[in-house]
Amino acid sequence: MPQRVTIGAVRFLNAAPLVHGLAERADVALHLEDPSALAPLLLAGDVDAALMPAIEYFRLSAEAQERVRPRRPDGGSLEPFVVLPAAAIVSAGPIGSIRLFGYAPMAKVRRVLLDPASRSANAMTRILFARRFGGRPHFAFPHEVGPDPARGPDAELLIGDRGLVAERPEAEWVLDLGLEWNRFVHRPFVYAVWVARADARLARLSELLADARDAGLEAREELAARAEAERGIPADVARRHLESQVKYAFGRKEREGLLLFYRMAAEEGLAPPGVRLRLGPEP
């Protein structure tokens, strides 16, 4: 039997097609986590590859380069992580699961509650406020304001399965940030990518992930039908999400969209500058 590989992924419905069947393989150990938990696992070497927030690839690469730079006698930098182009989690319009709920008119939004499970969507929200919505409110996480703050937020970001089904009847408006991003830059938004350690068995990982992707895309109807019992997501909502809203290709347009997002994030101080996108082998 081939040596076992360890793979981490987000636990949300939108990732289910990309990890389909991996948990049943004897040569794979699959760990499902919130998006914010995956970068530390990869950095620590606890997983060989992870489907993780796209912005974390740039942050992680910069952090790892800082750690190893003093060990390089020639002063060069190492790039210990690569993006595997087998698949990604992408939108090119409405995404359904990244929603901003507003409790005050947009012009009066001064306080925004971010989602602690997120990384890429939090950065996207900050960029959209700075460059599209016209404001720089204070951003906070729920633990920073406590369960009963004196004044509630003016807007609240919810992502993933929770964002897909959340209802906020008191909200004055709701924005699908996948749609807002597409209207703003006319490029896809890449939420998550497969990131692997550069010293891992990249060709084998790419093949495994491509096989899971192909099986998962074929199984989207089945995954949607199971979503209500397993996740509390109505089957019709899950079906629309998996078959129409989420895109899984990571081709030229998606890479352009990712690099545009990274450039804006770096300009806003949300990501370190000077990190290049290094791709692993095609499956």
Estimate the share of the chain in helix, then strand, then coil, as percent rounded to the nearest 5. 45, 20, 35
Strands 173-176 and 99-102: antiparallel
pLDDT of residue 108: 95
Assess whether pLDDT exceeds 70 at residue 143.
yes
pLDDT range class, residue 2, cuts 50, 70, 90? low
**Banded model confidence at residue 277, pLDDT cuts 50, 70, 90:** very high
Is 18 in contact with 208 (CB distance < 8 Å)?
no
Check: CB of residue 110 under 8 Å from CB of residue 103. no
User: Quick one: which of 5, 157, 154, 9 has its CA closest to 89?
Assistant: 9
Distance CA 113, CA 163 (A): 13
- Given a cut of 70, whether residue 3 has pLDDT beyond it is yes
| Contact between 223 and 16 (Cβ < 8 Å) | yes
Q: Decide if pLDDT at 1 tops 60.
A: no
pLDDT in tens, 61-75: 887 665 544 444 444
Instruction: Summarize the confidence of residues 77-86 as an average pLDDT.
Output: 83
The whole model's pTM is what?
0.92
Which of 192, 268, 179, 197 is CA-nearest to residue 16?
192
Mean pLDDT over 76-95 rounds to: 87
What pLDDT is stored for residue 67 in this prediction? Answer: 54
Say whether pLDDT at 121 is over 80. Answer: yes
Position 69 scores a pLDDT of 46
Write the pLDDT tens digit of every residue in 161-171: 999 999 999 99
